[in-house]
Structure 1
Amino acid sequence: MYYILSHQIIMKYHITSVVLILAVLTVPSFGWDGNAKTTRYWDCCKPSCAWPDNVPTGGAVNSCLKDGYNLAPPNARNICGGGGGPGGPNFVCTNQQPFSIGDILYAFSASNVECCTCYELQFTDTALAGKTMITQVINKGGDLGQNHFDIQIPGGGLGIFDGCTPQYGSWSGGERYGGVSSAAQCNNLPEQVRGGCFWRFNDFRNADNPNVNFRRINCPSALVDRSNCRA
């Protein structure tokens, strides 16, 4: 679409400036809200959208007890800090790893937008060009910029917090930022989250913080069934 659009403008208005042509080529396609960057992380912490007060409508995002499967009380404290009632500490649920259905990638992410909203991401970088991801935002972060999706991928790097060591007793997840560097290192992670780690090197093609076009969409049941939250 970029090149067709550019060609039409050039033919109609006789634009010859290289600067103007490049400007047209770098704007997002029609129908997209804008461009965004992506990063990756997995810190095992209770997502911020699991606090009921952070969710404007519907139920809060599920968070789990230490086993990663049994649901924790919504207001129980976060393993990574934060108050709350009894029943904790809370961790991210194991089923909030990324997965694929056919050619479509699905994942949960952190971003400074409304809790539980969903976005279609179209990758524009070489490794994933033309691939589509549907992501639901279940977390926020003070280190996130505008138009930024931090995708939850086990072994993707702890980032600021470390809820994984107290959850599993130890954590061999590679570098603090960036995580593991090879598929073989996924075997060093707890068995419960290895699938999401291997997903990065297989379905996600080990793309390194790829850029995307993005637009808000209605949340599919494939994600809502795992998060329990719909904006």
Structure 2
Amino acid sequence: MRPASISTMLRYLVLLISTLLLTPLARSQTAGTTTTTWDCCEPACGYTSNLSPGAREPVKSCNQNNGPAAAGAQNACFTQGGGAFSCQTYQPIIVNNTFAYGFAGHGNTATSTCCKCYQFTWTSGAAKGKSMIVQAINAGGITDVDFDIYTPGGGVGDFNACTAQYGAPSGGWGRQYGGVTSDAQCSQLPSNLQAGCHWRWQWAGGDVNEWAITFKQVNCPSQLTSVSGCIPAAI
């Protein structure tokens, strides 16, 4: 009987430890949704004054040709002739069939979210079960539970610098809110943006807008901070 009792105790201990390890993780998850955007504007987190506490350096902004924006360049969405745009490097980055990196708008207050990273998993839509880690590079007009994924052809929304940067239609490519409606329409975009447009349809499997997720904040991976140039405070 002694071996059986020890075995039972070991199984109980393993179960108890597993429960203790998993419970904090489960409690840290928050429900939300995803949307898409690509307005070509300089990201809100490109301003030092908008950074979250402890974040180092604003996120990078680009000129019309995707080189570094000139010092003091004005946001092209808010200043006619402004020379600061979003960079083509903010497109999603595929890691494998179920995981990707990316950038997103998140939160209504920039100083609460700028440069922080979050991991989410879709719980609905064609991408159900797939995950992303995204860095927040934009904020304002976005709720604290939604992620506006930077996706070429994802819709310009309220502001549009894509006409100035790429000669896009006045309402952007496809719908003003939501963008193109099929993978085939990605051919409307400049060649340097098409991979990110195809990501949405070929990797995620569909429109992405209003798909449900659960998410939590995580430490930022170098795969994202090396692109944005912004490193937030560690958690």
1:59-208 equivalence runs, <5 A: 59-68=57-66, 70-73=67-70, 75-81=72-78, 89-102=83-96, 103-112=98-107, 113-141=112-140, 143-171=141-169, 173-206=173-206, 207-208=208-209
SS at match of 1:92: coil
SS at match of 1:198: helix
Q: Which runs of 4+ in 1 moved over 4 A?
A: none
The amino acid of 2:145's aligned partner reads: N
Cα distance in 2 for partners of 1:31, 1:148 equals: 18
8 Å contact from structure 1 (residues 40, 209) kept in 2 = no
Percent pairwise identity? 38
8 Å contact from structure 2 (residues 70, 83) kept in 1 = no
Cα distance in 1 for partners of 2:29, 2:71 equals: 32
The amino acid of 2:123's aligned partner reads: T
Counterpart residue number, 1:36: 32
TM-score where L is the length of structure 1: 0.80
Shift of 1:118: 0.2
Shift of 1:146: 2.9
8 Å contact from structure 2 (residues 34, 213) kept in 1 = yes
Structure 1: stretches of 5+ with no match in the other structure: 1-28
Shift of 1:71: 0.8
Cα distance in 2 for partners of 1:126, 1:78 equals: 34
CA-based RMSD of the aligned residues comes to 2.0
Larger Rg: 2
Shift of 1:148: 1.2
Cα distance in 2 for partners of 1:212, 1:225 equals: 26
Cα distance in 2 for partners of 1:146, 1:208 equals: 16
SS at match of 1:145: coil
Cα distance in 2 for partners of 1:209, 1:122 equals: 13
SS at match of 1:90: coil
Shift of 1:31: 4.3
Cα distance in 1 for partners of 2:187, 2:125 equals: 27
Shift of 1:229: 0.6
SS at match of 2:203: coil
Cα distance in 2 for partners of 1:73, 1:204 equals: 35
SS at match of 1:30: helix
Matched length: 199
TM-score where L is the length of structure 2: 0.79
Shift of 1:168: 1.2
Cα distance in 2 for partners of 1:225, 1:216 equals: 19
